């Protein structure tokens, strides 16, 4: 086997170091193996994807059987059974009247589809100026031009500008770094939500189409919503006739212990975007799930949503997705997460005695650990220090110690953990032990 640096152009990778990239050849349960035979705990579920763990023969068999029957056919004016069945299943699981399922190949395409739908819907209903989008600072929503425009991470965007105009940012829900009300979660949540109303007023309510929010914001290190936050956001969206898009590319399908993250926090979105855990990574698939109200203008004679993807709703992917959700029910995956999430949180919070650990935050099986220079002042690392800490040491040291996770500096330096949903206390203990050892060493090197 040749080196990854020879011809493979890897994603989000510094290619000057590509010849050192690990080559992962096998997975089983919560573990992966490289080409040297070394085992690692998959503490990130691949990329927030592999809910049921690696090596599921039952899902591989479904894929093979579907490929041998109907390997491909598009959903462009045609349908096929596995797409119909999975759409029915998702409609039955999604909250409220979210019962129209538009399949994509992945998460960025789902976000792209949601923005296009929002603009198209308002044009068809007599409000053609409503096209702008509001999202949160440091939030990540994808890499296609529209989704990247909604993303709130300037360093990821600058090299691709000009992007799609008409996107605006509001504060996120990182109470650890709250500029106001840091000692009052409810007041902070109200303030953060009200900034959405301020942004809508500033841009003009007649021009704002949608607000894109993750249930737990990923980039920056897993920001859960404060109490009352989404209730207030829903009120604001209703007041200004703005669509609430719940971007659940990560948070859906059990990551937070519920099928959809909106259920965890008790709010009703107009659109859910999802992907990743929909198939547990055994095939690429995403979806935009929209309310009946948004679908109605497209059901008129002669109307259509002039948008789609060749591989959106691929027969093999939708067959795998349906089987994946059947396993969720048969094996009680959601119940398992809810029964064990407290133990996961407790294990990670045990690291708060380390001087480098400032905050542990998240929900379900989705956590961020923020690293600090000073726990008392919450002083963070500057860019050079963060580079040396994360890329110069932690990323490699954690992997060498047998833990695959993410050391991230999109925002303040964090370590992110999102293990397969089959994990239990044995895996939590292994994660905790590796983190304690490596973080202690990292502190001694500062």
Query: How far, in Å, CA of 163 to CA of 152, rounded?
Result: 12
Work out the mean pLDDT of the chain and round it to a whole number. 97
Q: Which two tokens stand for residue 27?
A: 């997975």
Predicted confidence (pLDDT) per residue in 242-272, tens digit: 999 999 999 999 999 999 999 999 999 999 9
Each residue of 142-173: pLDDT tens digit?
999 999 999 999 999 999 999 999 999 999 99
pLDDT score for 284: 98
pTM, 2 dp: 0.97
What percentage of the chain reaches a pLDDT higher than 70? 100
CA distance 254 to 95: 14
pLDDT tens, residue by residue, 35-47: 999 999 999 999 9
Grade residue 428 by pLDDT with cuts at 50, 70 and 90. Answer: very high
Per-residue model confidence (pLDDT) at position 5: 72
pLDDT, tens digit, for every residue of 65-88? 999 999 999 999 999 999 999 999
- Give the pLDDT mean for 25-51: 98
Position 394 scores a pLDDT of 95
In what side-by-side order are the strands of the sheet with 403-404?
24-28, 31-34, 39-42, 403-404
Cβ proximity of 333 and 91 under 8 Å: no
d(CA 195, CA 73): 45
Which H or E run contains 343?
A: helix 333-349
pLDDT for residue 2 is more than 80: no
Question: H or E segment at 429?
Answer: helix 425-445
Number of H helices, E strands in the chain: 16, 15
The whole-angstrom separation of Cα 103 and Cα 64 is: 21
Residue 446 pLDDT:
83
Q: How far apart are CA 417 and CA 414, in angstroms?
A: 10
Q: Specify the pLDDT at position 409.
A: 86
Q: Are 305 and 120 in contact (CB under 8 A)?
A: yes
Phi, psi values for residue 262, rounded to 5°: -60, -35
Give me the count of residues in the chain. 446
pLDDT in tens, 88-122: 999 999 999 999 999 999 999 999 999 999 999 99
Q: Which helix (H) or strand (E) holds 245?
A: strand 243-247
Give the pLDDT mean for 205-222.
97
Q: CA-CA distance, 96 to 332, in Å (whole number)?
A: 23
Question: What confidence tens digit (pLDDT) does each residue in 353-369 have?
Answer: 999 999 999 999 999 99
Looking at residue 268, what is its pLDDT?
A: 98
Going by C-alpha positions, the residue among 292, 364, 297 that lies closest to residue 333 is: 364
In the beta sheet, which residues pair with residue 432? none
Residue 16's pLDDT band, with cuts at 50, 70 and 90, is confident
Contact 73, 311 (CB under 8 A): no
Nearest to 212 by CA among 266, 118, 136: 136
């Amino acid at each position: 086997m040749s080196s990854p640096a020879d011809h493979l152009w890897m994603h989000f990778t510094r290619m000057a170091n590509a010849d050192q990239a690990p080559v992962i050849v096998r997975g089983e349960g919560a573990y992966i193996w490289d080409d040297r035979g070394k085992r690692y705990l998959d503490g990130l579920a691949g990329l927030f994807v592999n809910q049921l763990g690696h090596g599921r023969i039952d899902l591989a068999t479904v894929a093979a059987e579907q490929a041998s029957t109907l390997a491909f056919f598009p959903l462009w004016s045609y349908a096929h059974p596995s797409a119909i069945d999975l759409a029915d299943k998702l409609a039955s699981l999604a909250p409220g009247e979210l019962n129209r399922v538009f399949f994509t190949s992945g998460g960025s395409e789902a976000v792209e589809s949601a923005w296009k739908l929002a603009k198209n819907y308002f044009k068809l209903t007599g409000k053609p100026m409503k096209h702008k989008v509001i999202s949160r600072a440091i939030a990540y929503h994808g890499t296609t031009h529209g989704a990247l425009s909604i993303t709130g991470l300037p360093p990821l965007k600058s090299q691709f500008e000009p992007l799609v105009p008409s996107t605006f940012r509001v504060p996120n829900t990182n109470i650890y770094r709250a500029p106001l009300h840091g000692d009052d979660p409810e007041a902070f949540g109200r303030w953060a939500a009200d900034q959405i109303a301020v942004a809508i007023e500033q841009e003009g309510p007649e021009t704002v189409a949608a607000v894109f929010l993750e249930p737990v914001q990923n980039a920056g290190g897993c920001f859960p919503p404060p109490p009352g936050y989404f209730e207030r956001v829903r009120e604001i969206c209703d007041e200004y006739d703005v669509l609430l898009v719940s971007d659940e590319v990560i948070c859906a399908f059990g990551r937070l212990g519920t099928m959809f993250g909106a259920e965890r926090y008790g709010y009703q979105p107009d659109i859910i975007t999802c992907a990743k855990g929909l198939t547990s990574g055994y095939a690429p698939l995403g979806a935009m799930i929209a309310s009946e109200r948004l679908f109605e203008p497209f059901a008129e004679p002669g109307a259509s949503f002039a948008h789609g993807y060749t591989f959106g709703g691929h027969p093999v992917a939708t067959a795998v997705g349906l089987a994946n959700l059947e396993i969720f029910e048969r094996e009680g995956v959601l119940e398992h997460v809810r029964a064990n999430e407290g133990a996961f949180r407790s294990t990670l919070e045990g690291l708060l005695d380390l001087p480098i650990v400032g905050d542990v935050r998240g929900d379900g099986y989705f956590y961020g650990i923020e690293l600090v220079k000073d726990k008392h002042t919450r002083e963070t690392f500057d860019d050079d220090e963060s580079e040396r800490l994360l890329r110069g040491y932690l990323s490699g040291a954690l992997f060498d110690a047998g833990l695959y996770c993410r050391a991230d500096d999109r925002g303040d330096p964090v370590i992110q953990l999102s293990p397969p949903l089959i994990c239990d206390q044995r895996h939590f203990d292994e994660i905790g032990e590796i983190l304690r050892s490596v973080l202690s060493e990292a502190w001694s090197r500062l």
